[in-house]
Amino acid sequence: MRIQTSDLSKTYDKKYTALENLTLDLNLNGIFSIIGRNGAGKTTFVRIMSTELMPTSGSGFINEMDVVSQAIEVRQQIAVVPQEARPLPWLTPLQTVSSYLMWRGYSYREANEKGKEALRELGLEGKEREKSRKLSGGQKRKLMVATVISSEAPVVFLDEPTTGLDYLSRKELWQLLSKMKKDRLIILTTHYLEEAEILGDQIMILDSGKLVDIGKIDDLRAKVKLPYVLKVYSDNFKIEDNELQVHPVSEKETFVYGSATKIYGLMPYLVTNKMKFTVEEASLSSIFEQYVGGEEGENEKEDW
């Protein structure tokens, strides 16, 4: 699947720039995670590319079809679960999935068959005929995802599908997405960096409407100054080095971020002093902080 944008911009009310000259060209399958702070432009990007919202300027293409002038053709190929979408409370899960498939043009019978299949895969087969309002929060989100995933659309947009879910429910949804990503492109926005890291075959970082970087996690890691983290479990560990970032987590636990050379340079000291330690590659949250930086709340905007 190919996603392209050229100088894609969106300004609301001629004042608020949510997306600024976004240019990218991607040819990929699997899960494309989009991360960024509130107001980074994640939802705006999804809404424009899923033909819900007109851009102010620039262009966007899905499989070489213009999302503005060829919206009808694009809509044959995409499906979207918007942020905050939820199942209609008066419908059963089967009615939810099958009616969406009918809106996509499936016959009543096909939609019901595919709906039952989707619910079986989801582990909701016993609840086919219960009203959706009786489902748990996690089941409702899974149902929304299953609704679009059960369609034939090769490109699926999921705007923060796991927001508000507990860890185990999120994990269940991750498993579902990992299973469903074969032969299609799932464009996923999320605030959970761990989720983006686990699921994302490619990751895009947005900040204040601008593209910060894009690539596989290893590519992103390779570009930051502090790609490794040393975790030291000792109350005697103390170090001062301008090229290292030291974060004491507790009295007996310290995280040290740095380059491979710097981190591995500390090994003899740690071994000599019999300190327990582990060395890991920096997680996406650490990479994200290094890219975007700033204190929590700084530059935070309404979610666009």
Partner 1 sequence: MKRKIGSQILASILVNSVYAMINYPVVLINTLLAPLAILAVVTFASKGALLPVAAVGALIMNMVSSGTSLQQDLSHLKNDMRLQDMIVSSPTTSLVYIVGMAISEIVYSIPTLAFLVILNVIFVKITLLGGLIIFLDMATIFTFSISLGFYLSTFTSDIIQSWGFSGILSPLLTTIPPVYYPITYIPYPYRYLAYLSPTTYASEIAQSQTGFFNPGVVGFSIAWIVLLAITGALTYLALKRSRWREN
Q: Where on the chain is the footprint of partner 1 (CB under 8 A)?
A: 47, 50-54, 71-72, 75-76, 78-86, 88, 90-91, 95, 99-100, 102-108, 111, 131, 148, 152, 157
192 three-state secondary structure: coil
Tell me the sheet residues that pair with 27: 2
- The nearer residue to partner 1, 140 or 221, going by C-beta atoms, is 140
- CA nearest neighbour of 83 among 52, 128, 122, 115: 52
CB of 105 to partner 1, least distance (A): 3
Long-range interactions of 237-241: CB distance < 8 A, separation 24+: 237/270, 237/275, 239/266
- CA nearest neighbour of 204 among 52, 28, 60, 55: 28
CB of 162 to partner 1, least distance (A): 16
Q: What are the angstrom distances between the C-alpha of 121 and each of 13, 86, 110, 114, 133?
A: 44, 19, 17, 11, 20
- The nearer residue to partner 1, 112 or 299, going by C-beta atoms, is 112
CB of 165 to partner 1, least distance (A): 17
CB of 76 to partner 1, least distance (A): 5
Kindly tell me the sign of the dihedral angle through the C-alpha atoms of 40, 191, 50, 131: negative
Tell me how far apart the alpha carbons of residues 255 and 252 are, in angstroms, rounded to a whole number: 10
CB of 142 to partner 1, least distance (A): 16
- The nearer residue to partner 1, 14 or 182, going by C-beta atoms, is 14
- The nearer residue to partner 1, 148 or 177, going by C-beta atoms, is 148
CB of 228 to partner 1, least distance (A): 41
Tell me how far apart the alpha carbons of residues 111 and 81 are, in angstroms, rounded to a whole number: 18
What token pair was written down for 270? 């740690």
Amino acid letter, 297: G
Q: Are strands 65-66 and 57-62 parallel, antiparallel or unpaired?
A: antiparallel
- The nearer residue to partner 1, 2 or 131, going by C-beta atoms, is 131
- CA nearest neighbour of 191 among 160, 217, 225: 160
- The nearer residue to partner 1, 53 or 203, going by C-beta atoms, is 53
CB of 95 to partner 1, least distance (A): 5
Do residues 38 and 298 touch, judged by C-beta distance below 8 A? no
- The nearer residue to partner 1, 147 or 254, going by C-beta atoms, is 147
Do residues 46 and 19 touch, judged by C-beta distance below 8 A? no
CB of 74 to partner 1, least distance (A): 9
Tell me the sheet residues that pair with 253: 250
